[in-house]
Structure 1
């Protein structure tokens, strides 16, 4: 995953040696995950619809605003370049088989949206 090897992916305030096993597993994924708590919007609680987030595979990876990366680095007292160097040896194998529907949006120019609606909670069994 580009974000991990480039040092863009960080787990703030978690030492690199602690997060390393997670990064090694995550680096093997295709770069999609469900985001349920979008803190960059200022959400105080994980409310609202989950969003399928993805990295821009095979697209212009220069779309990251360097001033935002610097601001993040300054805030958490980290170095993107140091992270990049420390993660250089991470093995990120190419996927053996890529599902042709993995990037549906690139093929069709459309994606999917999840809508949240209020509904009555029905108590079917005794709780707890």
Structure 2
């Protein structure tokens, strides 16, 4: 039968929920198979689709679900208490080109992020930058002509304590003049990297045609067409 509010055993059992012992028991008893498929950490900057003056750091933890589809969970940092702020799906250019035209407004290109050195692998602190640069080659060759659809559910730059407000469609930078250089410098200090050095390194191994050819038509509409948008609640009958 239901127990009273002041039942001592119920209180004791409830208190266990936030204990390290209970967490350890959960790890031992439960399966985390989908999460365990994550094998890549990417770090970049995202901008809000309705306000490109607002940018945030985004740590992506990604699974390659298929050759033509990455899926990533996004955190605000790589700390153990990082906030889960969103998700991103990545597809190659041939898939993007064949999307319905009205769908393309939600997607951004990764060309500039790769060209500029902004998008990087988040390797462990003891891994030398030179080794990271080598590890990045296959990843950046793959990601160079991909497109992302990103939704952030926590606007932590405005609401640090709780995920308030509607989900937000996020976009990416496409040229140097758009970039929040202070935020990028902060990211570089935190990760122990230099974006400008990565830019020069990548010029030596990215495919020339991919460097010179602009992103596919229909991506990055916040920049190419000046289209800004935001998700909102629409009442239904």
The two structures have a TM-score, normalised by structure 2, of: 0.35
8 Å Cα contact 1:36/1:49 also seen in 2:
yes
Is 1:28 aligned with 2:145?
A: yes
Q: In structure 2, do the counterparts of structure 1 residues 76 and 66 end up closer, same or farther at CA, with 3 Å as the change threshold?
A: same
Distance in 2 of aligned mates of 1:11 and 1:46 = 27
* Residue 86, structure 1, aligned to residue 204, structure 2: no
CA distance, structure 1, for counterparts of residue 145 and residue 115 of structure 2: 11
Aligned equivalents of 1:87 and 1:45: distance in 2?
Answer: 38
Aligned to 1:13: 123
Post-superposition CA distance 1:70-125 (Å, at most 9, x none): 222221111223212221121225269x44x4455544x444422258xxxxxxxx
Match of 2:172 among 54, 58, 80: 54
Q: What secondary structure sits across from 2:146 in the alignment?
A: coil
Extract unaligned runs of 5+ from structure 1: 118-128
Q: Which residue of 1 aligns with 2:190?
A: 75
RMSD (CA atoms):
3.9
1:38 & 1:85 partners in 2: Cα distance?
34
Contact 1:36/1:46, CA 8 A, preserved across alignment: no
Max Rg structure? 2
For residue 46 of structure 1, report the CA deviation from its aligned partner.
Answer: 8.2
Asked if the contact 1:38/1:46 (under 8 Å) is kept, the reply is yes
Say how many residue pairs are matched: 112
TM-score, normalization by structure 1: 0.57
Greater strand proportion: 2
Ranked by relative contact order (alpha carbons within 8 Å, sequence separation 6 or more), the top structure is 1
Q: Which residue of 1 aligns with 2:9?
A: none
CA drift of 1:27 comes to 0.8
Structure 1 residues 74 and 50: CA distance shift in structure 2, 3 A: same
Partner residue of 1:4 out of 111, 114, 132: 114
